[in-house]
Amino acid sequence: MIEVNYAIALGVLLFAVGLYGALRSTNAVRILMCIELMLNAVNLVFVAFARLIAAAGAAGAAGAGSTAGSTAAAGAVGSSGALVASAAVTGQVFAIFVMAVAAAEAAVGLAVILQVVRQRGVVQVDKVNLLRG
Classify 133 as helix, strand or coil: coil
Applying CB under 8 A, the span of 61-69, 70-78, 96-104 interacting with another protein comes to: 96-104
In whole angstroms, how close is the CB of 77 to another protein at the nearest point?
A: 18
In whole angstroms, how close is the CB of 74 to another protein at the nearest point?
A: 21
| 68: phi then psi, degrees, rounded to nearest 5 | -90, 110
Report whether 43 contacts 101 (CB < 8 A).
no
Choosing from 27, 64, 65, 73, the residue that interacts with another protein (CB under 8 A) is 27
Q: Does 79 bind another protein (CB under 8 A)?
A: no
In whole angstroms, how close is the CB of 75 to another protein at the nearest point?
A: 20
Please tell me the distance from the alpha carbon of residue 110 to that of residue 102, in angstroms, as a whole number: 12
Size of the site for another protein (CB under 8 A): 86
Quick one: 74 or 100, whose CB is closer to another protein?
A: 100
Quick one: 68 or 99, whose CB is closer to another protein?
A: 99
Q: Does 3 bind another protein (CB under 8 A)?
A: yes
Choosing from 64, 73, 77, 117, the residue that interacts with another protein (CB under 8 A) is 117
Angle formed at CA 15 by CA 14 and CA 20, multiple of 5 degrees: 100
In whole angstroms, how close is the CB of 84 to another protein at the nearest point?
A: 10
Classify 27 as helix, strand or coil: strand
CA 102 to centroid of chain Cα atoms:
10
Please tell me the distance from the alpha carbon of residue 14 to that of residue 19, in angstroms, as a whole number: 8
